[in-house]
Amino acid sequence: MTPSTKLFTERLHHCLDETGAPSSVRERAAILSKLMDIPKHLSFSMLEGNQIPAVETIEKIANEFEVDAKWLCGEE
């Protein structure tokens, strides 16, 4: 996978919107960190559009939010 950072970030926020997560990036990072069992700094970095996680983490996120990993990465 060669995900687009911008699309990944937009779609990750969309997934969190669908769950009713607060709009604050800091709060979202804390939620995502706990939900995915990943470091808070990684969650924050993903939500800010600075980093795309490893493929395994992308798949874990996709499974959690019941979306396709390719969609999440902007590949379809």
Buried b (16+ CB within 10 A) or exposed e, 33-70: bebbebeeebbbbbbeeeebbeeeebebbbeebebebe
**Which domains occur in the chain, in start order?**
5-72 (1.10.260.40)
Query: Between the CA of residue 40 and those of 23, 26, 37, 65, 76, what are the distances in Å?
Result: 16, 9, 9, 18, 28
pLDDT digits (tens, 9 = 90+) for 7-63: 999 999 999 999 999 999 999 999 999 999 999 999 999 999 999 999 999 999 999
Model pLDDT, residue 75: 82
Q: In the prediction, which pLDDT does 4 show? A: 83
The per-residue pLDDT for 1 is 38
15: nearest Cα among 40, 76, 53, 7: 7
Indicate the pTM of the whole model.
0.91
